[in-house]
A and B are shown apart, each in its own frame.
Chain A
């Protein structure tokens, strides 16, 4: 497969368009703005697709919902603060079973709760994919559109400026045909009007007089059952050096490759340390983590926030293995990107310190 050098924003936008995405709406906000621009260019190159610069994030995601309701693959995005404004519509997409891809190009790793818990109403979840590199952002963008259609759910792709502004190689085969989205018999196109069984989409699923729906109670139970099934079917993770590992370091997103680098070095020095990285933040790969940590003395969580993913790590291990948070809040002075804790020296020091602490205990 031919490889081409791509900046992360371009890679994600091209992957989206190649996945059949035909609609994107967003409101400028750093560092998401780069993706907005990349979608404009990608649709122009494709000669198809609609990019709307919305006037609010709320408007943007609701435009995308309208496009999605017609069966088109649609996406929106922002930075964590703007994604916060969209939460009502994210929940609506989930409860209305509308496939939608939402790119969070965050200013750091402080949106883990937002991606995995959200702030909308009702019993809903969102799949959350956390690429660690441009190459993975390309792959996970394609996966996001597939999962959204397969499970009829919003899917969050949680990246950051490091992915956006870094150039890496991605597979690019000009002969590879764009993905054709699946048939969507539920989608609206106006054509069922006057048939006596005209379609209606709404979150309560009460249907129409002639074609009553299950109603909110049964529908929302169906949605909850679907997410329970998804939780078992779709967890993804990567790991390294699990053999003989006594200290397992868990990280996500772009922190992962830094941790991998340090863990490789420590292994070479003979330390029994390994690394585990969830690719799906939700569903969290709980079973895989529990298996990987079975013989560990401790699990160390390195994330650049005050301790968010560590909750899921603790839930996964359920007290079987001690869990320590060794990351922390880390922003640079602009507030736009990660700070000093995203560095191999500080990581190595904190991991070694935690290992020695465990030995001392």
Chain B
């Protein structure tokens, strides 16, 4: 493993894809250095494009740093109340059953504020796709603890790391949802290294394909780096995620199609 602070060796690197997907109206954003969200954004819009869903999909987006995607990605969005995206998406899907309806939420949005909505909509087996960008902190507020913060993870709420005796344990909502009968597909990916990005793209494709095929509810959780919220240097976010989050949130398909 590379020691923290070691300059990245880019010799031999080659450009394999355009830097900006066509579906972004701009590449400007307000996200911090080392943030994992832009990679997740990119995967989401690229998968919508690959599956020919660009002009027949609506994203329902909660509140977090990722919300800015609604001003840059050239697809339709509804920005809803914190935590309520699955309920809003369900109302939309019932009115527009031939459209792909999906949510983009953070862990604070989906698991802290919106646990009731995600569980009920998943249990109903609604044909929508919910995407959670999970960094274990409220990045937008400056790094406070969420319901997915792992034990020992640094947050503004507890800078020495989440203490189970004081704050209890994180809620692995994707694992819960994967147990429900009406659920077609659940996976947990990451964007910390190229092979994880490639797998996450496949998970997103599977999730949207499950919806389009009418198989039921689908959920993809994506672990995203938040070095600012985690109080680590930008280039150490990926390593901190692997050391601090991956054991609590093992990557892979939790419910295959």
Listed in ascending order, the chain A residues whose CB lies under 8 Å from chain B are: 22-23, 25, 50, 52, 54-56, 58-60, 62-70, 72, 74, 88-89, 92, 188-196, 198-204, 206-210
Taking a contact as CB atoms under 8 Å apart, the answer to whether B55 and A66 are in contact is no
Picked from A23, A50, A193, the residue with its CB within 8 Å of the CB of B74 is A193
Taking a contact as CB atoms under 8 Å apart, the answer to whether A194 and B91 are in contact is no
What's the minimum C-beta distance from A220 to chain B, rounded to whole angstroms? 15
Taking a contact as CB atoms under 8 Å apart, the answer to whether A65 and B76 are in contact is no
What's the minimum C-beta distance from A224 to chain B, rounded to whole angstroms? 21
Q: CA–CA, A65 to B26, complex, Å?
A: 29
Q: Is B84 an interface residue (CB 8 A)?
A: yes
Taking a contact as CB atoms under 8 Å apart, the answer to whether A67 and B95 are in contact is yes
A-B pairs, top 8 by smallest CB distance, nearest first, are: A66-B91, A202-B79, A66-B88, A63-B91, A193-B75, A62-B87, A67-B91, A209-B25
Listed in ascending order, the chain B residues whose CB lies under 8 Å from chain A are: 23, 25-26, 28, 48, 53-58, 60, 70-81, 84, 87-96, 99-100, 116-117, 120
Extra 10 A-B pairs, beta carbons < 8 Å, given A58-B84, A66-B80, A203-B79 = A25-B91, A55-B116, A58-B116, A62-B117, A66-B92, A190-B75, A195-B55, A202-B79, A204-B79, A210-B74
Query: Contacts A62-B87, A66-B88 given: A198-B116 contact, CB under 8 Å?
Result: no
Which one of B73, B84, B89, B120 has the highest number of Cβ atoms from chain A below 10 Å of its Cβ?
A: B84
- In the complex, what residue of chain B is closest to A192 when comparing beta carbons? B76
What chain B residues lie within 8 Å of A191 (beta carbons)? 55-56, 76
What chain B residues lie within 8 Å of A67 (beta carbons)? 91-92, 94-95
What chain B residues lie within 8 Å of A55 (beta carbons)? 116, 120
- In the complex, what residue of chain B is closest to A211 when comparing beta carbons? B25
Query: Contacts A193-B75, A194-B23, A208-B70 given: A59-B87 contact, CB under 8 Å?
Result: yes
Q: CA–CA, A140 to B122, complex, Å?
A: 36
- In the complex, what residue of chain A is closest to B22 when comparing beta carbons? A194
Q: CA–CA, A354 to B182, complex, Å?
A: 64
Q: CA–CA, A191 to B99, complex, Å?
A: 9
Picked from B28, B87, B99, the residue with its CB within 8 Å of the CB of A190 is B99
- In the complex, what residue of chain B is closest to A199 when comparing beta carbons? B76
What chain B residues lie within 8 Å of A64 (beta carbons)? 91
Query: Contacts A70-B96, A198-B74 given: A65-B79 contact, CB under 8 Å?
Result: no
- Cross-chain pairs A/B with CB under 8 angstroms, 23 sampled: A55-B116, A64-B91, A65-B80, A66-B60, A66-B89, A66-B91, A67-B91, A67-B94, A67-B95, A69-B88, A69-B92, A89-B84, A189-B76, A189-B96, A191-B55, A192-B76, A193-B55, A193-B75, A199-B76, A200-B77, A201-B79, A207-B71, A209-B72
Picked from A65, A200, A209, the residue with its CB within 8 Å of the CB of B88 is A65
What's the minimum C-beta distance from B90 to chain A, rounded to whole angstroms? 6
What's the minimum C-beta distance from B112 to chain A, rounded to whole angstroms? 15
Q: CA–CA, A62 to B120, complex, Å?
A: 13
- In the complex, what residue of chain A is closest to B72 when comparing beta carbons? A209
Query: Contacts A59-B117, A202-B70 given: A194-B75 contact, CB under 8 Å?
Result: yes
What chain B residues lie within 8 Å of A188 (beta carbons)? 58, 76, 78, 92
Taking a contact as CB atoms under 8 Å apart, the answer to whether A194 and B74 are in contact is yes
Which one of A190, A201, A203 has the highest number of Cβ atoms from chain B below 10 Å of its Cβ?
A: A190
Which one of A52, A63, A193, A201 has the highest number of Cβ atoms from chain B below 10 Å of its Cβ?
A: A193
Q: CA–CA, A187 to B39, complex, Å?
A: 29
- In the complex, what residue of chain B is closest to A71 when comparing beta carbons? B95
Q: CA–CA, A52 to B95, complex, Å?
A: 12
What chain A residues lie within 8 Å of B71 (beta carbons)? 200, 206-209
Q: CA–CA, A195 to B100, complex, Å?
A: 17
What's the minimum C-beta distance from A57 to chain B, rounded to whole angstroms? 11
Q: CA–CA, A80 to B81, complex, Å?
A: 21
Q: CA–CA, A188 to B78, complex, Å?
A: 8
Q: CA–CA, A65 to B89, complex, Å?
A: 9
Q: CA–CA, A271 to B90, complex, Å?
A: 58
What chain B residues lie within 8 Å of A207 (beta carbons)? 71
- In the complex, what residue of chain A is closest to B56 when comparing beta carbons? A190
Taking a contact as CB atoms under 8 Å apart, the answer to whether A74 and B81 are in contact is no
What chain A residues lie within 8 Å of B90 (beta carbons)? 52, 63, 66
Q: CA–CA, A62 to B78, complex, Å?
A: 12
What chain A residues lie within 8 Å of B74 (beta carbons)? 193-196, 198, 208, 210
What chain A residues lie within 8 Å of B99 (beta carbons)? 189-190
What chain B residues lie within 8 Å of A69 (beta carbons)? 78, 88, 91-92
What's the minimum C-beta distance from A49 to chain B, rounded to whole angstroms? 10
Which one of A54, A56, A191, A200 has the highest number of Cβ atoms from chain B below 10 Å of its Cβ?
A: A200
What's the minimum C-beta distance from A56 to chain B, rounded to whole angstroms? 6
What chain A residues lie within 8 Å of B23 (beta carbons)? 193-194
Which one of B81, B88, B95, B96 has the highest number of Cβ atoms from chain A below 10 Å of its Cβ?
A: B95
Picked from A60, A63, A198, the residue with its CB within 8 Å of the CB of B76 is A198
What chain B residues lie within 8 Å of A59 (beta carbons)? 84, 87, 116-117, 120
Taking a contact as CB atoms under 8 Å apart, the answer to whether B95 and A201 are in contact is no
What chain A residues lie within 8 Å of B58 (beta carbons)? 188-190
What's the minimum C-beta distance from A77 to chain B, rounded to whole angstroms? 15
Query: Contacts A199-B76, A203-B79, A209-B25 given: A190-B84 contact, CB under 8 Å?
Result: no
Picked from B56, B88, B91, B100, the residue with its CB within 8 Å of the CB of A23 is B91
What chain A residues lie within 8 Å of B48 (beta carbons)? 193
What chain B residues lie within 8 Å of A190 (beta carbons)? 55-58, 75-76, 96, 99-100
Picked from B75, B77, B78, B100, the residue with its CB within 8 Å of the CB of A66 is B78
